[in-house]
Amino acid sequence: MDHHIALSDLSILLVEPSETQQKIISSMLYKENIGQIDAVGSVEEALAELDKHSVDLVISAMYFGDGTGLELLKAMKNDTAKNSIPFMLISSEFRPAKLEEFKQSGVVAILPKPFEPVHLTRALNATLDIINTDEVELELFDVHDVRVLLVDDSRLARNHIRRVLENMGLKKIKEAENGAFALTLLKDDTFDLVVTDYNMPEMDGRELAEFIRFNPDTTHIPIIMVTSEANSAHMSNIQQTGVNALCDKPFESAEVRRMLIRLLGN
């Protein structure tokens, strides 16, 4: 059954050390018709607030006097009461290595500082897609019967991708933490779709995709590759290995929905 909440229903916790930035970001959120915004200035205050109130989204800066946004995110992910709350990062940090851990941890969006209203609108809509359930309709499949193999060495990334897929009605999902383990599952089971990370130990996504394409038993299976480098030059030839679609991290529901309809719809 589909379940929907609107932007005006969202309760947001804004974690930002600068009072000026708190005011700027809050005013932009109110212009987006957000219902409830609470602002705090530290990691400790954020965790205390999350213990007291239920929140639909945490929007956090990167650096605080008492820690980092990554420490806040990890504390949330390790707490069963908080680990399903979507997390959005707002940061002037641009170094890929610093942002990579956030991407691997299943953030819903990463916004630059300063950001345009259009960036915020897209990120908030991506958050609603994560929260709301909206089953995808496929011509040739009952979405509940689609058998998915999800391959990623990050447990947090797998949890995030699984949640996005389950919200679209995909329920038959098996997980593998690397390409080598995925091969053992492919030998024992039948799958209709493979969703795989690119960078993994033992066997990466490219090697896994090549195996799937060159094995007569699996050559027909559509492959979606998820990578934080989807737009980089060295990924441009990955589709020659038989990958059907490239998807960026953070993993966005609207983009994935279009891919599923294209790959499984006809």
Domain spans, the chain: 7-131, 143-264
Give the residue-averaged pLDDT of 217-234: 80
Evaluate if residue 218 carries a pLDDT over 50.
yes
The band of 1, judged by pLDDT with boundaries at 50, 70 and 90, is very low
Specify whether the CB–CB gap between 256 and 247 falls below 8 A.
Answer: yes
pLDDT band at residue 241 under the 50/70/90 scheme: confident
187 phi/psi in degrees, rounded to 5: -75, -30
Q: For residue 2, is pLDDT > 60?
A: no
Alpha carbons 175 and 8: distance in angstroms, whole number? 35
Instruction: Output the average pLDDT for the chain.
Output: 88
Average pLDDT over residues 205-217: 92
Number of residues written out for the chain? 266
CATH class of 143-264: alpha beta
Determine which helix (DSSP H) or strand (DSSP E) holds 236, and give its type and residue range: none
When pLDDT is averaged across residues 221-237 and rounded to a whole number, the result is 75
The answer for residues whose C-beta is within 8 angstroms of residue 61's C-beta and 6 or more apart is: 15, 16, 17, 18, 21, 69, 89, 90, 91
For residues 122 and 237, the model is more confident at 122
CB-based burial of residue 8 (10 Å sphere; 0-12 exposed, 13-18 middle, 19+ buried)? exposed
Model confidence at 135: pLDDT above 60: yes
Asked if residues 200 and 179 have their Cβ atoms less than 8 Å apart, the reply is yes
Model confidence band, residue 240 (pLDDT cutoffs 50, 70, 90)? low
Answer whether 7-131 and 143-264 agree in fold.
Answer: yes
**Which residue has better confidence, 15 or 229?**
15
* Rounded mean pLDDT, 154-175: 89
Options 3.40.50.2300, 3.30.930.10, 3.30.830.10, 3.60.20.10; which CATH number does 7-131 get?
3.40.50.2300
* Local confidence band at 239 (pLDDT 50, 70, 90 cut-offs): low
Q: What pLDDT shows up at residue 151?
A: 96
If you average pLDDT over residues 104-124, what whole number do you get? 88
* CA–CA gap between residue 147 and residue 193 (Å, rounded): 6
Does residue 65 or residue 263 have the better pLDDT? Answer: 65
Q: Which pLDDT score, from 0 to 100, does residue 201 have? A: 85
Q: What is the mean pLDDT of residues 40-57?
A: 94
| Encoded tokens for 91 | 């940061």
Handedness of CA 253, 258, 263, 266 (dihedral sign): positive
Q: Is 51 left (phi over 0), alpha (psi -120 to 50) or beta?
A: alpha
Average pLDDT over residues 134-142: 81
Query: In the prediction, which pLDDT does 35 show?
Result: 82
Percent of the chain with pLDDT over 70: 94
Peptide bond into 117 cis (omega under 30): no
**Residue 235 — very low, low, confident or very high, per pLDDT cuts 50/70/90?**
low
